[in-house]
Amino acid sequence: MKKSYKHSLYLILVHYPVVNKHGDVIASAVTNLDLHDIARAAKTYGVKNFFVVTPLKDQKELINKIISHWTIGSGAKYNPDRRDALELVCIKDSLEDVVKHVVKQCDSRPQVIVTGAKNNSRSIGFDIFRKMIQTDKTYLLVFGTAWGLSEKFISEADYVLEPIKGCTNYNHLSVRSAASIILDRLLGRN
Amino acid sequence: MKKSYKHSLYLILVHYPVVNKHGDVIASAVTNLDLHDIARAAKTYGVKNFFVVTPLKDQKELINKIISHWTIGSGAKYNPDRRDALELVCIKDSLEDVVKHVVKQCDSRPQVIVTGAKNNSRSIGFDIFRKMIQTDKTYLLVFGTAWGLSEKFISEADYVLEPIKGCTNYNHLSVRSAASIILDRLLGRN
């Protein structure tokens, strides 16, 4: 039996434009377990689609190969739960292409909210965004790979979500951990 | 500046005894990103040590090789933040060996609490355990790899933590996601 949930949230994992450890804008390589872990978390919390953004042809082919194995290849029979999660994955060249896709599905322009480990003067809190997504608006929740989204990308977003604070000053979670924790803070029921 | 925190929590990732998809007890293989992701989350939430349990010699050698690269090898210079996290890792043959290690550090026997995706009649809630760890008692929070900890292992634990509920009936998070979410629920400050 499917539980109902009200939100209309999409997840995006961006491989370009992100920055490297020196702050240069780069296109990062795809990590296999980013796809698995974030798709599984997205499925757990009722996310509508998990968009993986990269403009690189070879990287798109790699993602397709991984996803196909689990959605239509032998992996789908071996582990149907994994198939259900990875079916959420949708590959796009850019944020603009994601927006176009979602506009077609929802008939309204989604709002873009970016995540990151750094403080930002525009940050909104988890409690505020948790309430925002319990409306009929559509949101794209964006995560960056490598050392995070480029400054330009962040400045162009509609909203910036506050960073995760643990209980130390160490703030170097993997994007897989961050996405899981943020989904739980926004949509967890326990 | 180091923030202070009261809890005395240790994390354990068990590779034996766990079960495969058919329910048989097995020793699972080590996954590189389990070490990285869970160590980084452990560091974020002030966990004292991250014990990786496996009795297999070749697997212990593999863990040692990975950890050494980041703690004393070239990785330590390339990414000191990763070093700080992976320095929490400690390899042990069994839960008994972890308990012995912790007893030496704390001078008292720690309580064992296991996690898992299945409901259990003994489960305690996140709120209850969150309060329990804000005392001077020491707890070992245990995660299983593969299809989860063996029934015998679970039945012998002092406590069982309730499963994570998302907002659907899908409950197939990776152990990396589950560990991150559970640490945040128990120790997150935002």
Select the residue of B43, B176, B189 nearest A165 (Cβ to Cβ): B189
Per CB-CB distance under 8 Å, the chain A contacts of B124 are: none
Cα torsion angle, B112, B117, B118, B119, sign: positive
- Nearest by CB to A81, from B37, B172, B189: name it: B172
Question: What average pLDDT values come out for chain B (190 residues) when binned by 10 residues?
Answer: 66 98 97 98 97 98 96 92 96 98 92 97 97 94 98 98 95 97 90
For chain A, 190 residues long, the average pLDDT of each consecutive 10-residue run is: 66 98 97 98 97 98 96 92 96 98 92 97 97 94 98 98 95 97 90
- Look at the block and give the residue holding tokens 């919390």: A45
3-state secondary structure A40-67: HHHHHCCCCCEEEECCCHHHHHHHHHHH
Give the helix/strand (H/E) hosting A152. helix A151-156
Element holding A118 (H helix, E strand): none
Token pair 């599984």 in the structure block, residue: A40
pLDDT at residue A2, as a whole number: 44
CB of A172 within 8 Å of any CB in chain B?
yes
**Residue among B75, B77, B72, B52 nearest B62 (CA):** B52
Instruction: Give the type of residue at B61.
Output: E
What pLDDT is recorded for position A55? 98
Candidate from B40, B45, B184 with C-beta closest to A184:
B184
DSSP chain B: -PPP---EEEEEEE-SSEE-TTS-EE-PPP-HHHHHHHHHHHHHTT-S-EEEE---HHHHHHHHHHHHHHHTSHHHHH-HHHHHHHTTEEEESSHHHHHHHHHHHHSSPPEEEE--SS--TTEE-HHHHHHHTTSS-EEEEEEE-TT-B-HHHHHHSSEEEPPP--SSS-----HHHHHHHHHHHHH---
What is the value of ipTM here, to two decimals? 0.95
What is the pLDDT, as a whole number, of residue B189?
73
Chain A: closest CA distance from residue B58 (Å):
23
Nearest chain A CA: its distance from B174 CA (Å): 6
CA–CA separation, A134 and A154 (whole Å): 23
- Partner residues linked to B89 by β-bridges: B50
Task: Give CA–CA dist B80/A139, Å, rounded.
Answer: 35
The single-letter code of the amino acid at B150 is: S
Cα dihedral A107→A109→A110→A113 (10° resolution): 180
Report chain B residues whose CB lies below 8 A from the CB of A2: 168-169
Q: Is B47 exposed, middle or buried (0-12, 13-18, 19+ CB in 10 A)?
A: buried
What distance in Å separates residue B91's CA from the closest CA in chain A?
A: 22
B79 CA to chain A: closest CA distance, Å?
9
Cα B166–chain centre separation: 20
- Cα(B45)–Cα(A6) distance, rounded to whole angstroms? 31
Q: With an 8 Å Cβ cutoff, is A6 touching chain B?
A: no
Q: Provide the 3-class DSSP secondary structure of residue A143.
A: strand
Q: What are phi and psi of B163, to 5 degrees?
A: -70, 160
- Give B79's contacts in chain A (Cβ within 8 Å): 21
Euclidean distance between CA atoms A134 and A129, whole angstroms? 9
Cα of B55 to nearest chain A Cα, Å: 25
Q: Least CB-CB distance to A190: which of B81, B162, B189?
A: B162
Strand arrangement of the beta sheet that strand A50-53 belongs to: A89-92, A50-53, A8-14, A138-144, A111-114, A159-161, A123-124
Per-residue pLDDT, A134? 92
B177/A172 CB distance under 8 A: no
A190/B79 CB distance under 8 A: no
- What phi and psi, each to the nearest 5 degrees, are found at residue A86? -75, -15
What are the structure tokens assigned to B174, written together?
């990776």
B190 and chain A in contact, CB less than 8 A: yes
* C-alpha–C-alpha distance, residues B187 and B43, integer Å: 12
